[in-house]
Amino acid sequence: MGLVDDRKIDLDKVHALIEQEPDLELVFSTTDAEAAYEEIQKSEIDLLIADIEMPGISGYELADFIQTHGLLISVIFITAKSGFAVHAFELNVHDYIMKPYTKERLQKSLERYRSKQHAGSLTGRLVIKRKGQIDMVQKQDIIFIERTGRTTTIYTTRASYETYMTMNECEGSLREHHFIRSHRSFIINLQYVKNFALLTKKSYSVTFEGTKHTAMITKEKMDFLQKYYF
């Protein structure tokens, strides 16, 4: 996980509380939002605790970057300002904590984060909840996931499954780095990708081994893949 707050006294408080959580590994802790931005791109973190109003890059902009690029990083805002709550909701951040806060308030947020991490996953399998039944699917067999209207379809090497699970729920259960949120409506497994083909100025179509169905990836996300994966 990573911490960023331009006020050192506030950063030190969060740092001290996190050190009391033995299951959380702190990768970086900084008062420099620009440094946090660099760390987010290169570090393998799954949780960011950030202030919102900071010089240079705001916590809101960091969260927006995480969402735009489909990074599997949950965000907890800790801020003295209440005016950003609506934006936090729009970015689907994990939590929004107002300063001053108690140790118990942060611990409660971390407990909910842990529960979210484990929800829907079980030892290499994705638990797919459907009306009247629950399917256990090997994550390694998932080719891609598509959101259409109010339902989500999970395409695997053996079958497809329609569920009311949200994309965020699916994404939270697929923490492996070869699963990429390629588009607001798609999560793809890079291990099955056969081809990326230019579709429009802002998107590419994606074809796979094992299925005739196709997905989409945004140009911005494609640029990100070429920079950090290919």
Highest mean pLDDT among 128-142, 168-182, 184-198: 184-198
Strands 133-138 and 125-130: antiparallel
152-183 per-position pLDDT tens digit: 999 999 999 999 888 888 887 887 778 999 99
Domain 2-118 indexed as CATH 3.40.50.2300 = yes
pTM here is: 0.57
Q: How far is CA 78 from CA 3, 56, 125, 167, 227, in A?
A: 10, 18, 33, 25, 31
Mean pLDDT over 123-151 rounds to: 88
16-23 average pLDDT score: 90
- What pLDDT sits at residue 113? 86
* Domain boundaries along the sequence of the chain: 2-118, 123-228
End-to-end CA, the chain:
25
- Give the relative orientation of helices 33-42 and 59-68 as an angle to the nearest 10 degrees: 20
The mean pLDDT value for 145-152 works out to 94
Mean pLDDT for the chain overall: 88
Residues 99-103: what's their mean pLDDT?
A: 93
Q: How long is the chain?
A: 230
Assigned CATH for 123-228: 2.40.50.1020
pLDDT, residue 118, reads 62
Q: How far apart are CA 3 and CA 26, in angstroms?
A: 8
